Structure 1
Amino acid sequence: MLSKHSKDQREQLEVFALSELVPEDHLVRKIEEAMDFSFIYEKVAPLYSSKGRPSIDPVVLIKMVLIQYVFGHRSMRETIKRIETDVAYRWFIGYGFSEKIPQISTFSKN
């Protein structure tokens, strides 16, 4: 018998934790478990002013570059596009579905 899958599920609302969607054996989980990124804050603290707009978390920026390198994306522009749609990447940098990913200009200015 021929079945046709309904597209109605596209608009379905569900409640879940982002971490439930990232496989336990995914490389980003292994990296997160193996590395403590907190040392970055101490290293970059002298580069930030106490005045002005809030910055993008420097650990997020480092993790984005790490994603580019480890997963072999050709450019930061491509990496950002992948992060926008990949659940595991979003989980790794600590961003939910509704948060905007830092723009390419963030990297070109820094």
Structure 2
Amino acid sequence: MLKERPQTQSTLEVISINELVPSDLVKDFYCADNGRPALDPTLMFKLLFIGYLFGIRSELQLIREVQVNVAYRLFLDLGLTDKIPDVSTLSANRTRRVKESDVYQQIFDQIVLQAMKRKLVGGHTFYTDFTHLKANANKMHFEKAVVEQTRQAYMDELDQAIEEDRLAHRKKPLPPEKSKVETREIKQSTTDPDSGYMVRDTKPKGYF
């Protein structure tokens, strides 16, 4: 117990960063001994982050943007000559492997926690700044309507883009997947159905 411990702080070591991080959250969604090599989960999520943050609502367009954008390639850890994943591979991995899992939320939560730890965000309040334009609609003229609401609107937009592309190329539509649909009741203007009824503190109520 009293032996002098060897000095290791200045020792030159060759290690893999992957050995220092927790086990992969999406490991169970990939087969290790069957089929062709799967899309790297880290690359897939980074691709989706790019699409979400920069408002790219089509996986086909996303892949095209990555092909020519050096900054995107740098973020994805891809060289100028590295092959970009095929759009069908990205779609299949997103829709078939992790769609019924909460892994997206887990990864997002971890990113927020890391940002809080580094004092980049406080984790208490989220602010947005936007301007509402008053609609030319009488707030007394409305009918109640039930609309769907979802927490994965971006994913739904990607699915819609896939369906439109398949239709344009005369391909059969993908089979519908069962998903939990939540609804809410709104006041829909009969004069301007595209407007929304808003109630805000210190602001007039009405359609905007």
Relative to the length of structure 2, the TM-score reads: 0.33
Structure 1 gaps of 5+ residues are: 1-37
Indicate the structure with greater helix content. 1
Aligned to 2:41: 58
Larger radius of gyration, structure 1 or 2?
2
Segments of 5+ residues of structure 2 without an aligned counterpart are 1-20, 94-208
Aligned length: 72
Q: Does 1:48 align with 2:30?
A: yes
Give the 3-state SS of the residue equivalent to 1:43 in structure 2. Answer: coil
The Cα offsets for residues 47-102 of structure 1, whole Å up to 9 and x where unpaired, read as: 12220332221100100010000011121111110100000000001110111110
**1:30 counterpart residue number:** none
Q: Give runs of ≥4 in structure 1 deviating > 6 Å.
A: none
TM-score of the aligned structures, taking structure 1 as reference length: 0.59
| Identity score, percent | 38
The 5 Å alignment of 1:10-89 reads 42-52=24-34, 53-89=36-72
- Whole-Å separation in 2 of the counterparts to 1:103 and 1:88: 19
Q: Could you say what the CA RMSD is over the residues aligned between the two structures, in angstroms?
A: 1.6
Q: C-alpha displacement at 1:107, in angstroms?
A: 2.4
Structure that is richer in strand per residue: 2
Bigger RCO (CA 8 Å, 6+ sep): 1
